[in-house]
Structure 1
Amino acid sequence: MLVLYASGTGTAEELALYMVDKLRRCTPTVEVRLKQFGQASLADLENEVIIVICSTTGDGQLPENAQPTWNQLLRKSLTPFMQNSQFYSFGLGSTAYAKYNYAIQKIFARFVKLGAQPAINAFLSDENSAESYDDFERWSDLVLESLDIKCTNTAQLPPLYPVKMIDAENHNGAKFAQEPMLVCKNNRISAPDHFQDVRQIIFQETEPNGDAFNSIDPGDCVSIHPKNDPKQVEALLISQKWESLADRIVEVDGIVPAGGWVTPLTLRNLITWHLDLNSPPLRTFFTVAQHFCTNPDHAERMQQLSVDSDDRYAYISRVKRSVIEVLLEFDLDIKIEHLLDLFKLITPRKYSISGLYSDGSSQSLEITIAVVKYSTFLKRLRRGLCTHYLQSLPIDAPVYLTITKSKLDLARCATRKCFFVATGTGIAPIKLLLTQLKFEVQPTLFYGTRYDNKDYLYGKELESKAEVVSAFSRQGGGYVQQKIAAYMQSSAYNLEDCIVFVCGSAGAMPRAVKEAFASTGANIARMEKMKTYIEDTW
C-alpha cells in the first residue's frame, strides 16, 4: 500500500502521516509506504493500492514537490500501465482561489486515463476551514471501510524513520553539501515607525569570480534553509536530559530532506537544522507522544488531543501553539529513535530574487523580506522561523540557498505591453524584471502600499523604469484594483495582447485585481491558459 502526498505548506504531509499511522495500526501484516508524490517512480504505481493526498498551489497547479513524477505521468507515450491499481484521493484547496482543488482533480483524471480504478470519488476540502480535519476524518473512515479494515491497535508503533545514536562524537560546525553564500548587507528599508520590519538582504559569493549566479534570470527564486533559535534547541536538550548526548553522531533511516542532511549529523545539528520546532504539532505528535508521558494525567490529555479535533483546534490553532511549547508543557521522556515521528522536517523557504549585482570581481543577490512577528491573544510572541533567522544574520554570516527557476516567458515580457501589479513585498520579483529586462514597450506598474514614506519599497527607483501608478491606501489613495479599473477605462491596449503579472498576498487582493482587469471585457481564463495572466501570490 502506497501513500503519496504533495504539499506546499505542510498540511497534506501532516494528513499523509496521520493516514500512514492509521494504516500501520490497521494492517500490521501489510507494508505501508509513504512517499512524496514527486519521488514515486512509475513502477511504484503499478499493481498497488494508492492513497493520494494533494494540495493545490498557484493557479491550480500541483505543488513543486509533485512535479518530477507528474511530468512523467503526462507523457503522451504512456500506455494504461495502472490497470491493476486502485486509488483513493483527497484534495486540499482554498475557496479563495478560482481553481479550487484543481490539482487533485488533475491527478484523479490522469490516473483514470492511465487505467487506475478509483475506489471512491475524489474528496475536496477547504484547508482554510476549521472543518478540514473533520473532512479528512470522514474521508479516511470511508477509505478504511472500502478496504474492509478497522483500527483497534493503540500501542506504540516502531518509528517510521528511526534515529540511531552512534558512539562517535563530533564537535565541528555544521555545513551542507553546497557552498554557502555570505551576507554582505542586511538593512531595514521600511520606516522605523512602520508596523512591519521589511529588510533588504544581499548575499555574496564566497569565491570571487564564481559562476553561482550566472544562470539566474528575472523571476527566479531562492530557497533558503533556516535553522532554529539556539535557545529553543537548548531548551529541548535540557528538558530531555540530552546534554551529554548532544554532540553524538546520529543516523536516520528511510528519509532524506530537501538539500540533504547537514554534516556532521549530530543530535544537536539534527535538532538545530532539521526539526521544525516552531510549527504547530501534527496530530500524530499526540498519538506518539502520549506513550512517552511520565505523568498519567498528561498521557490522558495527550490521548484526548489525538482523537478530539475540536479540542485540538482550540488548544493549538486558536492560540498558535508551537510544537516546542507543547512539548515543554508536558512531562515527557522521549526516545531519540522516535524524533522524526514527533517533529516535521524544516523545509527551505522560498523568496523571490529582487536584485542582481556585480562589481567586476564578485556577484551578489538580493532578496526583500517582511519579518513575521506578532502576538497571540494570550500575548505570546510569535516569529516566522526563516524571517527571524534572516533578520538576525550579521555581516559575513554563511547562508545555504539554492536557486529555483521561474516559468516566466521572458521573451514575451520583453516584447509585449506588460502590466505589473504588486502589493507589499510582492514588488520583489517585479523589481528584478524591471531592472534586468529591456522592454520594447514601456511597462506599467500598479503598486499598492500603505504610505508613500514608510513602505513604498523601491518605488522611487522604479519610477525611472516604468510608468508607476501608486495607491497609498492609508493616505486616501485607494487600492490597486481601483487604480487598475480607472486606468483601463482610458487605455487603448487590448488586454489579451498584453502580459499581466500580479504579485502579493493571496486572498482578496488578487480576486479584486482580476475583476478589475476582467471589466475591460478581456477573457481572463483564456489569458491564464495562455500564461499571459500570471499570479504569484502567497
Structure 2
Amino acid sequence: MQLQVLNSPFNQEQAELLNRLLPTLTESQKVWLSGYLAASQSFSATATSDVQASATGTVQTAAQPVSKEVTILFGSQTGNAQNIAKNAGKTLEGQGFQVTVSSMSDFKPNSLKKVKNLLIVVSTHGEGDPPDNAISFHEFIHGKRAPKLDDLRYSVLSLGDSSYEFFCQTGKDFDKRLEELGGKRLYDRVDCDLDFDEPAAEWLNGVLSSLNQSTGENAQPQATAQAAPQAGESVYSRSNPFKAEVLENINLNGKGSNKETRHLEISLEGSGLTYQPGDSLGIYPENDPELVDALLKELKWNPDETVTVNKQGETRSLYEALRTYFEVTVLTKPLLQQAAELSKNNELQTLVSKGNEDKLKEYIDGRDLLDLVRDFGPWDVTPQAFISILRKMPSRLYSISSSLLANPDEVHLTIGAVRYEAHGRKRKGVCSIQAAERLEPGDTIPVYIQHNDNFKLPENPDTPIIMVGPGTGVAPFRSFMQEREETGAEGKSWLFFGDQHFVTDFLYQTEWQRWVKDGVLTKMDVAFSRDTEEKVYVQHRMQEHSKELFEWLQEGAVVYICGDEKNMAHDVHNTLIEIIEKEGKMSREKAEAYLADMQQQKRYQRDVY
C-alpha cells in the first residue's frame, strides 16, 4: 500500500520518503523498526508522565525500563551446551548487554526470581534425562519451591539426538515449566539435532533481535554458534577439524578374547590443540565402503553423479557424499517421516502415521539406511532428493587416555570395536570399525578437542580420588595417572577396573602395575566377570571394601565414573548410595542427599554414554 497525505498522518515529503524506503526493507529490518518505534513511544510516554507527576505533585507509575541484564544457564554433559552458552555470552556482551553465564549446578535457584532475561542452553542425556550438572536445578524448577516468574522473559535452546525417543526432552521440560511459572518467551524454543551449529546460530540471532527490539537498539551482525579463536587458541575446532596423523594402532586384547580394543596414538603436531585429562577427542569418521557400495547397488545410482550436500552449495560425488558426509547407519523418526513423503510405499506411510509410534520405534531399532531402502523400495526419486533428507555425519567423542604433559603433541584413545548381528545382517560401529579395520599408521583423520569441565582432576593435588572404569571406561583414568605422575601429585588414588577375562582383557595391565609399584596409584581392585562361576563386577568389589571406601569419602575423595550409563553407571550409583547408607548409618534419603551434595561440590563426576 502506498502512503498518501490523505490516508496517513504524514505530509507529502514524509510520505514520499517512506514510500521509497519501505519496499527496500527486509522482514527483520521491519520487525526491528516496529520494535524501535514502540520502545521510543514507551520512553516518550514515561518521560511525559514523570514531568506531569513533577508538575502536579502527584505520584504516577513510570514504565519500567527494559533490563539489559541477561543470565545464561547451561546444562551440559559433554561440553557442547557449555560452549554454546559461553559463545552466546560473548556475543551478547559485544552488543552491550550485562551477561552472567553459569552452569545450572553453580546457580543459586533462589536468585531466579530476580532474573529478568533468562537463556537456557541444555542437552538431554540418556532416556530424556537432564545432564548431571542440570539435575538439581531441574528438580528445583519442577518442585513446589519454584517461584512465580511473571516478570521473566526467557528462551530455550535444547540439544539432543533425534535417534532417541525422548529427543530434546530436557529442553522441552524447561520451556514448558518456565511458561507455567508465568514466564514469557523472548523467542521460541529451538530443538537441535547432532548437527547443531546452524540452528544454534539462528536461535541466538532470534534472541538478539528480540532483546534489541525491547531495548530499542539496533541489531548487529549475525551471530554464529562458535566463537572465533582468541589469541593463542588453535584455529582448529569442531567446525574446522585438524587432519591428524595416526602414529600407532594396537589391539590391546590378547589372543582368544571376545573383544577388540584399539589403542590409537595420534599426532597433534602443528595443530596448536591442547587438552586436559578428562577432555574428549572428536573424530569425524567415514562410512564402511562395503555398506556404501551396497546402498548404491540397491538404488541403481551412478556413484560418480555430482550432488549438493549442504546449504552452502558444496558438491561431491554421490559416492563421496555417502561415504564421508552423511550418516547411513542410524535411522531416526524424522528421517522415516521424510522418506515416506518421497515414497509411494503404503506400508512406509502407514508405519509413520499417527498411532503407530510403537511399531515405528521397533522398526528403527538396530536398522540402517540399507534396510530402509530394501524394505520400502522401489525409490522413484533423484539421488539429490534422497540425500537431502539424510542427517550430516556426526562426530564421535572418545575420552582421551593420555596426558599432554607426558605425551607432548600427542593424544591417545582407547576404542572398543563394535560388531553385532541384528535383523539378519552383521552390523559394525562406524568409527570403531574404521579404527579396527581400515586405519593404518600414516593415515590422517579429522579431529578436534572437546573440553569437558565436568570431568576434571581436583585442583588440590593432595585430594584423594576414586576411579571406577570397566572396559574402555578406564581411558580417562590412564590420563589421570599420567598427569599425576608428571606433576608429582601426592593425593591417594584408587582404581576399580573390570572386564571379561584377566588373561586377555586386562587393558594397560603393565602400566597399572608399575603405577601401583611406584606409589602413583595407591590401590587397584579388579573384577573379571567371566573368570568366576558367579559374575563379579566393579560394584561388587566396591561393596567388599565399603568401610574403607566410605572413609575415603569422609576424607574428601572425589569419585569418578566412566563408561556405560544404562547398566554399569546406574549400578555403581546405587552401590555408592548403599555404601553411604550402611557405613554412614544413614537413612536411604540422607544417603541420597549425601551423594547429591557430593555432586554439587563436584566431588562426584561422571563421563557416561
- TM-score calculated relative to the size of structure 1: 0.66
Q: Does the CA contact (< 8 Å) of 2:163 and 2:330 recur in 1?
A: no
Question: Percent identity over the alignment?
Answer: 20
In 1, distance between residues paired with 2:450 and 2:123?
28
Other-structure match for 2:415: 369
Q: Identify the match of residue 303 of structure 1 among 322, 332, 349.
A: 349
Give the Å deviation of 1:514.
2.9
Give the Å deviation of 1:328.
3.4
Specify the SS of the correspondent of 2:293.
helix
- Residues 47-105 of structure 1 show CA distances to partners (whole Å, capped at 9, x for unaligned) of xxxxxxxx98749x9856764578678548996348xx9x9x99775389997994877
In 2, distance between residues paired with 1:382 and 1:512?
28
Q: Which runs of 5+ in 1 are unaligned?
A: 1-29, 32-54, 119-124, 143-159, 162-175, 255-260
Give the Å deviation of 1:496.
5.7
In 1, distance between residues paired with 2:600 and 2:428?
38
Give the Å deviation of 1:448.
1.7
In 2, distance between residues paired with 1:359 and 1:485?
34
Residue type matched to 2:245 in 1? Answer: L
Specify the SS of the correspondent of 2:461.
helix
Q: Identify the match of residue 402 of structure 2 among 342, 355, 370.
A: 355
In 2, distance between residues paired with 1:305 and 1:95?
23
Other-structure match for 2:127: 94
Other-structure match for 2:509: 459
Higher mean C-alpha displacement, 436-445 vs 62-71:
62-71
In 2, distance between residues paired with 1:112 and 1:305?
42
Other-structure match for 2:302: 243
Q: Identify the match of residue 272 of structure 1 among 323, 326, 335.
A: 323
In 1, distance between residues paired with 2:500 and 2:490?
31
Q: Does the CA contact (< 8 Å) of 2:123 and 2:131 recur in 1?
A: no
Other-structure match for 1:80: 116
Q: Report the CA distance shift for 1:291/1:486 in structure 2 as closer, same or farther (over 3 A).
A: closer
Decide which structure has the larger Cα Rg and report it.
2
1:474-513 alignment, distance < 5 Å: 474-476=530-532, 478-490=536-548, 492-495=551-554, 497-513=556-572
Higher mean C-alpha displacement, 341-350 vs 507-516:
507-516
In 2, distance between residues paired with 1:128 and 1:418?
35
Give the Å deviation of 1:386.
1.1
Q: Does the CA contact (< 8 Å) of 1:90 and 1:104 recur in 2?
A: no
Other-structure match for 2:249: 186
Residue type matched to 2:531 in 1? Answer: Q
Other-structure match for 1:168: none
Residue type matched to 2:281 in 1? Answer: V
Specify the SS of the correspondent of 1:354.
coil
Q: Does the CA contact (< 8 Å) of 2:559 and 2:605 recur in 1?
A: yes
Give the Å deviation of 1:128.
11
Other-structure match for 1:212: 272
Q: Which has the higher helix share?
A: 2
Q: Report the CA distance shift for 1:96/1:398 in structure 2 as closer, same or farther (over 3 A).
A: same
1:1-400 alignment, distance < 5 Å: 58=77, 67-68=85-86, 75=101, 80-81=116-117, 94=127, 102=135, 115-116=152-153, 177-205=240-268, 210=270, 212-213=272-273, 215-243=274-302, 245-246=304-305, 248=306, 250=308, 252-253=310-311, 265-280=316-331, 282-293=332-343, 298=345, 300-307=346-353, 308-317=356-365, 320-329=366-375, 330-339=377-386, 341-356=388-403, 363-376=409-422, 378-391=423-436, 392-400=438-446
In 1, distance between residues paired with 2:434 and 2:147?
41
Give the Å deviation of 1:234.
3.2
Larger RCO of the pair (alpha carbons < 8 Å, separation 6+): 1
Q: Does the CA contact (< 8 Å) of 1:375 and 1:381 recur in 2?
A: yes
In 1, distance between residues paired with 2:363 and 2:463?
52
Note the aligned Cα RMSD (angstroms).
Answer: 4.7
Q: Does the CA contact (< 8 Å) of 1:288 and 1:341 recur in 2?
A: no
In 2, distance between residues paired with 1:111 and 1:416?
41
- TM-score calculated relative to the size of structure 2: 0.59
Specify the SS of the correspondent of 2:402.
strand
1:408-419 alignment, distance < 5 Å: 408-412=455-459, 414-419=461-466
Other-structure match for 1:531: 602
Give the Å deviation of 1:428.
0.3
- Count of residues paired in the alignment: 425
Q: Does the CA contact (< 8 Å) of 2:403 and 2:482 recur in 1?
A: no
Specify the SS of the correspondent of 1:190.
coil
Specify the SS of the correspondent of 1:412.
coil
Other-structure match for 1:472: 528
In 1, distance between residues paired with 2:380 and 2:138?
40
- Residues 416-444 of structure 1 show CA distances to partners (whole Å, capped at 9, x for unaligned) of 01111111111100001111223212311
Q: Report the CA distance shift for 1:116/1:515 in structure 2 as closer, same or farther (over 3 A).
A: same
Q: Report the CA distance shift for 1:412/1:373 in structure 2 as closer, same or farther (over 3 A).
A: same
Q: Does the CA contact (< 8 Å) of 1:197 and 1:371 recur in 2?
A: yes
In 2, distance between residues paired with 1:266 and 1:129?
30
- Residues 210-247 of structure 1 show CA distances to partners (whole Å, capped at 9, x for unaligned) of 3535x22211210000011223333444444542753x
Q: Report the CA distance shift for 1:439/1:488 in structure 2 as closer, same or farther (over 3 A).
A: farther
Specify the SS of the correspondent of 2:448.
strand
Q: Report the CA distance shift for 1:354/1:346 in structure 2 as closer, same or farther (over 3 A).
A: same
Q: Does the CA contact (< 8 Å) of 1:221 and 1:353 recur in 2?
A: yes
Q: Does the CA contact (< 8 Å) of 1:224 and 1:348 recur in 2?
A: yes
Give the Å deviation of 1:515.
3.5
Q: Does the CA contact (< 8 Å) of 2:468 and 2:560 recur in 1?
A: yes
In 2, distance between residues paired with 1:335 and 1:528?
52
In 1, distance between residues paired with 2:87 and 2:385?
29
